[in-house]
């Protein structure tokens, strides 16, 4: 796994040939049990690396299109799975917990529900106020600037734009880690504001 901007955050990625972008997964290493977000299949090397960093307590899935290897990794690690409350009725795997807006999964990991994306109640996660983690709605196919899903994928563009405006108005964001594409490691809050202004 690759070190991110904090030494307790790691990422592993897989290049997607259909879209010519990397898909990304996050590991947050914590004394009380590590948390994985939208985990892709792990190579043997990355799996050993992850195991060396302690137990996995939670896997968070931001939306039903990002289930990826969650079930297999939960089985291997004994982690519990958390998913978006708004998808509870038709999620493809069983979750141990359903997450709604403003709650914290664990201290320091705040849940934000987005609306109007391709699935209802897609989750974004705000890690200790400064690192925003997004699933599908906010993404980056071009390095250094953020974008949203194309209109034809959105269930409600007005709601999606309002959700992005809400993210852009969060004051302290420094870094935006995207599930799909290029994360923004400097001026992440500004990149969100630039995105909101373009919509």
Chain residues in the site for a second copy (CB under 8 A): 1-5, 7, 12-13, 15, 17, 20-22, 43, 45, 49, 141-145, 175, 182-187, 190-191
Spatial contact of 164 and 126, defined as CB atoms under 8 Å apart:
no
Give 75's contacts (C-beta < 8 A, 6+ positions apart).
none
Q: Which is nearer to a second copy, 22 or 113 (CB)?
A: 22
Nearest-approach distance from CB 125 to a second copy, in angstroms: 17
Q: Which is nearer to a second copy, 49 or 71 (CB)?
A: 49
Q: How far is CA 109 from CA 37, 41, 67, 133, in A?
A: 11, 23, 19, 10
3-state secondary structure of 72: helix
Q: Which is nearer to a second copy, 120 or 181 (CB)?
A: 181
Task: Determine the distance from the C-alpha atom of residue 165 to the mean position of all C-alpha atoms in its chain, rounded to a whole number.
Answer: 18
Nearest-approach distance from CB 179 to a second copy, in angstroms: 15
Nearest-approach distance from CB 165 to a second copy, in angstroms: 21
Given the DSSP bridges, would you call strands 34-37 and 56-60 parallel, antiparallel or unpaired?
Answer: parallel
Alpha-carbon distance of 127 to 106, in angstroms, equals: 10
Q: Which is nearer to a second copy, 3 or 169 (CB)?
A: 3
Nearest-approach distance from CB 186 to a second copy, in angstroms: 5
């Amino acid at each position: 796994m690759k070190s991110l901007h904090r030494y307790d955050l790691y990422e592993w990625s897989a290049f997607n040939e259909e879209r010519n972008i990397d898909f990304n997964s996050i590991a947050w290493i914590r004394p009380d049990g590590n948390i994985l977000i939208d985990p892709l299949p792990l190579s043997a090397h990355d799996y050993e690396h992850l195991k060396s960093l302690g137990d996995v307590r939670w896997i968070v899935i931001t939306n039903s299109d990002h289930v990826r290897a969650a079930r297999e990794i939960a089985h291997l690690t004994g982690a519990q799975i958390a998913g978006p409350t708004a998808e509870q009725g038709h999620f493809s795997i069983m979750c141990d917990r359903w997450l709604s807006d403003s709650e914290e999964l664990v201290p320091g990991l705040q849940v934000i529900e987005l609306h109007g994306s391709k699935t209802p109640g897609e989750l974004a996660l705000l890690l200790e106020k400064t690192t925003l983690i997004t699933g599908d709605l906010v993404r980056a196919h071009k390095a250094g600037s953020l974008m949203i899903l194309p209109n034809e994928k959105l269930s409600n563009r007005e709601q999606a734009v309002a959700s992005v405006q809400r993210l852009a108005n969060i004051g302290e964001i420094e870094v935006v880690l995207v599930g799909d594409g290029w994360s923004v490691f400097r001026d992440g809050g500004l990149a969100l504001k630039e995105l909101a202004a373009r919509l």
